[in-house]
Structure 1
Amino acid sequence: MSEPVTLDVAAAYDVWAASYDGYDNPMVFAASYALSQASLPLSQKTCLEFGCGTGRNLAALAARGVSNLIGFDLSSAMLAEARKRDASWTLFQADMSAPIPLPDQSADFILFSLTLEHVAELAPPLREARRLLRTGGTIKIIEIHPFVSLQGISAHFKTPDGAEITMPAFAHHFQDWLGAFDQAGLRVDRLREWQAADLGAGAPLKIQRRGPAWPWVVDWTLSPA
């Protein structure tokens, strides 16, 4: 068996982009399920996703009556897949660890989903999200559960020819999250830890075989402090 190949984040997702939505990824299932269960009054709102990937979450938000969808990603190939979904979305390439080229108060709702594991310092993107959030808005973060990431589990995949691709990832403790929220001027309105038993009868085998108490994702709902 060949050794895993480690690529930088953008290069890894460029390789993964074409097969990403069809990949048997239990973490993506868990995050998508958590988002589907969220009570979000988004009709006629503007929504922004940090690390929008192929646009699967943007499509889910569009189904809720969102009037304006904005997304950015580090991977140009992932953005190309997102553009295939809907040409009306505002999509651009950017690094969430750097200033985002959007004006203050650009969105009513901001989403991070399975992206912040690739960021060493949580505070900079969260400060940008706080800057871009409109008065009365909400930020939702759905990310790999700390109990999982601290075991060394992170985003990885196999190519069609069987090569295993890994990429840089950072395990964040709960205290890291709380400290970053404080630095960014955000407060926690709700927190849910999604275990396998919470993910519905249709959860794939990869989720079920970990056992009902396995914590897949952590789901934060935030607002300005």
Structure 2
Amino acid sequence: MSEAKTLDVAAAYDVWAPSYDRYDNPMVYAAGHALSHMPVLVAQKTCLEFGCGTGRNLAALAARGVSNLIGFDFSSAMLAEARKRDGDWTLFQADMNEAIPLPDQSVDFILFSLTLEHVADLVPPLQEARRLLRTGGVIKIVEIHPFLSLNDISAHFKTADGEEVTMPAFAHPFQDWLEAFDQASLRVADLKEWQARDFGTKAPAKILRRGPDWPWVVDWTLSPA
């Protein structure tokens, strides 16, 4: 068996972008399921996704009545796929480790979905999210469960010719998350650890075969401290 090719994050997602939405990825399914069960009301709100990828989450938010959708990503190819979904969305290329070119307190709802595993230091993107959040706003994080990331499970995929591609990823235990939230002046309003049993019997086989107690994603809801 050949060794996996490791690319930087942007390059890896550039390669993955054309097939990303068709790829059999249980983690993406789990994150999407969690988002679909989100109780936060977003109708007529301005929403921003950090690492919006192909725009699949933006489309889900649009279906819930969001009035203004904004997204950015490190990968130009992922953004190209997102632009195919809706030309009215505000999309731009940016690195979540750096300052985001948007005004203070300009959005009502911020989403991170399967993106923070690629960030070594959680504090800078969370501080930026806090800066951008309006009074009464909410930040939602859906991320690979620490139990998995600490066991070397992270984003990867196979190309059409069968070559496995990996990219930099960082395991964050719960303590890292809590310390980062504190430094970014955020508090945990809600937390759910999504296990296989929570997805129902119609979930993909890749999820169910791990057993009902297997954790897939952690789902944080945050508000300003």
Shorter-chain TM-score: what band? over 0.9
Counterpart of 2:65 in structure 1 is 65
Counterpart of 2:177 in structure 1 is 177
- CA shift for structure 1 position 200: 2.0
Counterpart of 1:29 in structure 2 is 29
Does residue 76 in structure 1 map to residue 90 in structure 2? no
Query: In 1, Cα distance between the equivalents of 2:201 and 2:21?
Result: 21
Counterpart of 1:153 in structure 2 is 153
Query: In 1, Cα distance between the equivalents of 2:147 and 2:139?
Result: 22
CA RMSD of aligned residues (A): 0.5
Counterpart of 1:110 in structure 2 is 110
TM-score for both structures, normalised by structure 1: 0.99
- CA shift for structure 1 position 40: 1.9
Q: Which runs of 4+ in 1 moved over 6 A?
A: none
Counterpart of 1:101 in structure 2 is 101
* Residue aligned with 1:21, SS: helix
Cα deviation per residue 1:100-124 (whole Å; 9 max; x = unaligned)? 0111011100000000000000000
Query: In 2, Cα distance between the equivalents of 1:192 and 1:215?
Result: 10
Counterpart of 2:137 in structure 1 is 137
Counterpart of 2:6 in structure 1 is 6
* Residue aligned with 1:35, SS: helix
Q: How many residues align?
A: 225
Query: In 2, Cα distance between the equivalents of 1:224 and 1:41?
Result: 17
Cα deviation per residue 1:48-89 (whole Å; 9 max; x = unaligned)? 000000000000000000000000000000000000000000
Q: Given residue 5 of structure 1, which amino acid in structure 2 is its aligned partner? A: K
TM-score for both structures, normalised by structure 2: 0.99
Query: In 2, Cα distance between the equivalents of 1:151 and 1:209?
Result: 18
The gaps in structure 2 that reach 5 residues or longer are none
Q: Given residue 109 of structure 2, which amino acid in structure 1 is its aligned partner? A: F
- CA shift for structure 1 position 16: 0.1
Question: How high is the sequence identity, in percent, across the aligned residues?
Answer: 80
Q: Given residue 98 of structure 1, which amino acid in structure 2 is its aligned partner? A: E
Q: Given residue 80 of structure 1, which amino acid in structure 2 is its aligned partner? A: A
Query: In 1, Cα distance between the equivalents of 2:105 and 2:15?
Result: 34
Query: In 2, Cα distance between the equivalents of 1:200 and 1:105?
Result: 38
Cα deviation per residue 1:200-220 (whole Å; 9 max; x = unaligned)? 222100001111100000000
Q: Given residue 50 of structure 1, which amino acid in structure 2 is its aligned partner? A: F
Q: Given residue 93 of structure 1, which amino acid in structure 2 is its aligned partner? A: Q
Counterpart of 1:90 in structure 2 is 90
Query: In 2, Cα distance between the equivalents of 1:34 and 1:202?
Result: 15
* Residue aligned with 1:70, SS: strand
The gaps in structure 1 that reach 5 residues or longer are none
* Residue aligned with 1:77, SS: helix
Query: In 1, Cα distance between the equivalents of 2:92 and 2:105?
Result: 18
* Residue aligned with 2:38, SS: coil
